[in-house]
Structures are given as C-alpha cells and as structure tokens.
Chains A and B, each alone.
Chain A
Amino acid sequence: DGGITQSPKYLFRKEGQNVTLSCEQNLNHDAMYWYRQDPGQGLRLIYYSQIVNDFQKGDIAEGYSVSREKKESFPLTVTSAQKNPTAFYLCASRSGYTDTQYFGPGTRLTVL
C-alpha cells in the first residue's frame, strides 16, 4: 500500500523528556510537513522540508526539531523546551505534480 505512516498512534511523555515522532512515506514525494492541531483548532505548521537534508521553520517551530536524512523519512522531536506539547501531530507529504498534500493518521501526544 502506498501512503504515509506515523508512529506511535498515542504517546505519553513525562515533563522534561524529549520524544521523537516518526513519519514515513512511500509516495516518492519530495516535500514533507509537520503540523500541530489543538482541540477545536486548525492546523499550525511546525516544520517543512522540500528536499533531503534541507528544512525550514514553520509558524510554531520553537521547542521542536526535525531531520531529513532520507526522502522517505521526516521525524519530529518534541523537546523539553516545548512548554505545552499536548496536541495531535500530523505529518503530510506533497505531490510535486498536483501540489496536493496527503496526511498520515496522526500521533496524539499527551504530557503527564
């Protein structure tokens, strides 16, 4: 099956811990994105990457970090510097032909 996978589906973190959210795609898309969604709110862009080994900050990058060592993978690390990390995290990739973004199933992060 072609698509975007995110793991884990649910993640619990203690305060002060760093956690890494996985995002993998086999759609051969160059561009990948991370969004955060809070209850009843829209999507806010955290980081995005147009090509391997390059990425740009989105609107709310503070307290997050990313890497893009492979085309298929774009992991997101939520650091202890992120003061309010409890949210639904969505990874997406974009087709270079249609500009359409496709989303993974999401990871729900809860800080205990």
Chain B
Amino acid sequence: QKEVEQNSGPLSVPEGAIASLNCTYSDRVSQSFFWYRQYSGKSPELIMSIYSNGDKEDGRFTAQLNKASQYVSLLIRDSQPSDSATYLCAVMQGDSSASKIIFGSGTRLSIRP
C-alpha cells in the first residue's frame, strides 16, 4: 500500500462545475496535510493546508479532512480553465525532529470550456 494515494486521472470537469480531488493516507498519526498545484514544467505551489477534522475554505477552494477514515479531499468550486493542472496531496509523517512530507503521485485535472 502506498503511503499517500491519489487517483492519477485525468479528471475532466466542465468549466463552472465543482472539481473533487481525493487522497487517502496510511499513517494514522499524521497531523499535517497539504494540497499543492503543479503546472506542467513548473514547481509545486501550496494551495491549502489543513490540520484538524472538518472543512477549511479559502476562496474557491475547500479542503476536507477525516482522520478516522484517513481521507483528505480538495473541492474546487466554479472551475476555471486556469485550474487545469496536476494536484498533489501531501502528508507530514514523523515528529518535528525527524519529519518528512510524503507526496502522492498527483491527480491531473482538466477543465473543459
């Protein structure tokens, strides 16, 4: 079992619709979770971080965390063509003295006009 799993896609969503991206993780004691967006040929950029169960909203983006189910998701409302990118889920493992962040392999999102 991979430590952080994502559906590789591509996920195709019509412009203006809601895009839903999902991620599961294996380490039950993980406390910090992140979503990054990566455009082709560029480095990842942080979209959202989430640390406690529930929803966290930032503009058109909502991150959802369920630690009991070891599941984290990202919703993108009113999807725009500029949202077309690969979305990476990341989970921090270990304590602060020896922590590292594990990345999923990413979900490719395509917003069709």
Contact = CB atoms under 8 A, between A and B. Distances in A.
B99 A99 contact: yes
> Is chain B's interface secondary structure helix, strand, loop, or mixed overall?
strand
A103 B39 CA distance: 13
Interface residue SS majority, chain A: strand
- Chain A interface extent, by class: 20 to 34
B49 interface: yes
Interface of A: 31, 33, 35, 41-43, 45, 48, 50, 56, 58, 90, 94, 96, 98-106
A106 B106 CA distance: 18
B96 interface: yes
A56 B49 CA distance: 25
Given A50-B99, A104-B43, 5 more contacts: A56-B98, A90-B44, A99-B32, A100-B34, A103-B45
Contacts of A100: 34, 46, 49
Interface of B: 32, 34, 42-46, 49, 88, 90, 92, 96-106
A94 B101 contact: yes
Residue from A45, A101, A105 whose CB has the most chain B CB atoms within 10 Å:
A101
B98 A101 contact: no
